[in-house]
């Protein structure tokens, strides 16, 4: 039997709990270290604890490094990992502080022969995998449009986000840079890279620096249009507002697929009243239908079995380019063409 892959993790903040929990459940993996400036938080993971990345890499020589930090820390962590010879690196999104920085570390990883993967997990949510399968099978006929309504209901008042991810309040670009990128990637996963974008963004909560509501329209190949309709102040019907974070409709000439807040996916044929179940309600108590596990397991399978990787950094750079175009559109009030 082959030895288990050694995984080390950098970061022990709020979202890291889902990473550590997933690594503990993936076959063929041993988590050999957790590093964080707060050594108490690192120890709380239950794995060997370090207060800096360098000694953890020296002590553990991991096959995979999982970077679970905000964008400001990505470049330095990736460069340190490359210098230590790590050959598979997963980095949280938003990926780096800007496109130039992301392009730079991506090139350095390629030159070092390392695989750099962005931890963009929404496309691994079971409902989007099911929706893609149904669209590919022709269930809705010719796809025409899709509409996602982001409604997490967590953005009201002066204490918004402070109990979970307080740095959200200080991000100069928030709704799209931090959250909307999930659907930029999901829409391209379902319909291909957009050719143009139009955005109307606004700030509602004066306690934060960035925008927290807006509409973004994408033009996709074959005439498909998608709409990201985001408002962090409003909620949706769900026992867990963070399961799907909203509701969605995927419409075509033969019918519509509907995503509900409980993770359920239904199909209604064009001209019919009856609704057919496609995917039952989600029962996972953690985050997003266990999408973190599905992404991390996908990386492990690629390392061990040679499967193709999704969201390698070189491909994910297009998400950043699209995101930048969204902000240019909002600033200029114009539709922005994409290369």
Cα–Cα–Cα angle for 310, 315, 317, rounded to 5 degrees: 130
In the chain, % of residues over pLDDT 90: 96
In the chain, % of residues over pLDDT 70: 99
- Please tell me the distance from the alpha carbon of residue 166 to that of residue 171, in angstroms, as a whole number: 10
Is 236:263 a contact under the CB 8 Å cutoff? no
- Please tell me the distance from the alpha carbon of residue 174 to that of residue 141, in angstroms, as a whole number: 35
Task: Taking residues 328-338, report their average pLDDT.
Answer: 98
Is 84:58 a contact under the CB 8 Å cutoff? yes
Task: Taking residues 246-266, report their average pLDDT.
Answer: 98
Task: Taking residues 287-293, report their average pLDDT.
Answer: 97
The pLDDT value given to residue 1: 42
Which residues of the chain are in CATH 3.40.50.720 domains?
Answer: 5-119
Task: Taking residues 70-97, report their average pLDDT.
Answer: 96
Which residues of the chain are in CATH 3.30.360.10 domains?
Answer: 123-287+319-337
Which of 94 and 82 is assigned the larger pLDDT? 82
Q: Chain-wide mean pLDDT for the chain? A: 96
H or E stretch at 322? helix 313-332
Radius of gyration of the chain (CA): 20
- DSSP reduced 3-state for 316: helix
Is 130:104 a contact under the CB 8 Å cutoff? no
The pLDDT value given to residue 339: 85
- The structure tokens listed for 125 are 């949510």
Confidence of residue 10 (pLDDT cuts 50, 70, 90): very high
Residue 56, pLDDT > 90, answer yes
Least confident piece of the model among 97-106, 159-168, 330-339: 159-168
State the architecture of 5-119 in CATH terms.
3-Layer(aba) Sandwich (3.40)
Is 303:165 a contact under the CB 8 Å cutoff? no
- Please tell me the distance from the alpha carbon of residue 313 to that of residue 311, in angstroms, as a whole number: 6
- Please tell me the distance from the alpha carbon of residue 32 to that of residue 42, in angstroms, as a whole number: 12
- Name 116's bridge partners: 89
Give me the helix-helix angle, 74-83 and 53-60, nearest 10°: 30
Residue 324, pLDDT > 90, answer yes
Question: What is the spatial order of strands in the sheet that 5-10 belongs to?
Answer: 49-50, 29-35, 5-10, 64-67, 88-92, 115-119
Please give the span between the terminal C-alpha atoms of the chain, in angstroms, as a whole number. Answer: 47
b/e sequence 88-127, b meaning 16+ C-beta within 10 Å? bbbbbbbbbeeeebbbebbebbeebebbbbbbbbbbbbbb
Residue 126, pLDDT > 90, answer yes
Task: Taking residues 60-71, report their average pLDDT.
Answer: 97
Residue 3, pLDDT > 90, answer no
The pLDDT value given to residue 2: 57
- Please tell me the distance from the alpha carbon of residue 315 to that of residue 339, in angstroms, as a whole number: 14
Task: Taking residues 62-88, report their average pLDDT.
Answer: 97
- Name 276's bridge partners: 267
Tens of pLDDT, residue by residue over 146-184, are: 999 999 999 999 999 999 889 899 999 999 999 999 999
Q: Which CATH class is domain 123-287+319-337?
A: alpha beta
Task: Taking residues 191-205, report their average pLDDT.
Answer: 98
Is 235:241 a contact under the CB 8 Å cutoff? yes
Tens of pLDDT, residue by residue over 207-252, are: 999 999 999 999 999 999 999 999 999 999 999 999 999 999 999 9
The pLDDT value given to residue 264: 98
- DSSP reduced 3-state for 303: helix
């Amino acid at each position: 039997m082959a030895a288990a892959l050694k995984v080390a993790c950098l970061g022990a903040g709020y979202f890291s709990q889902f990473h550590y929990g997933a690594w503990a459940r993936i076959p063929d993996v041993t988590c050999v270290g957790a590093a964080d400036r707060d050594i108490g938080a690192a120890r709380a993971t239950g794995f060997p604890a370090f207060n800096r990345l360098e000694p953890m890499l020296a002590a553990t020589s991991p096959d995979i490094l999982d970077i679970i930090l905000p964008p400001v820390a990505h470049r330095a962590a990736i460069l340190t990992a490359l210098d230590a010879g790590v050959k598979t690196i997963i980095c949280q999104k938003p990926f780096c502080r800007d496109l130039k920085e992301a392009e730079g570390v991506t090139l350095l990883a390629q030159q070092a022969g390392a695989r750099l993967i962005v931890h963009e997990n929404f496309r691994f949510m079971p409902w989007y995998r099911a929706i893609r399968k149904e669209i590919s099978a022709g269930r809705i006929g010719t796809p025409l449009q899709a509409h996602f309504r982001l409604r997490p209901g967590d953005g009201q008042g002066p204490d918004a986000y402070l109990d979970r991810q307080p740095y959200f309040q200080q991000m100069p670009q928030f709704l799209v840079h931090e959250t909307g990128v999930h659907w930029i990637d999901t829409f391209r996963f379902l319909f291909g890279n957009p050719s143009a974008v139009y955005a109307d963004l606004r700030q509602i909560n004066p306690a934060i620096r960035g925008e927290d509501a807006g509409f973004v329209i994408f033009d996709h190949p074959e005439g498909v249009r998608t709409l990201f309709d985001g408002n962090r102040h409003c909620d949706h019907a769900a026992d867990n507002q963070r399961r799907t974070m909203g509701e969605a409709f995927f419409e075509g000439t033969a019918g519509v697929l509907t995503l509900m807040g409980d993770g359920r996916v239904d199909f209604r044929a064009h001209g019919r009243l009856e609704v057919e179940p496609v995917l039952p309600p989600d029962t996972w108590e953690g985050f997003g239908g266990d999408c973190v596990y599905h992404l991390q397991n996908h990386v492990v399978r690629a390392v061990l079995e040679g499967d193709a990787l999704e969201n390698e950094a070189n491909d994910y750079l297009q998400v950043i380019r699209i995101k930048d175009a969204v902000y240019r559109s909002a600033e200029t009030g114009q539709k922005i063409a994409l290369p």
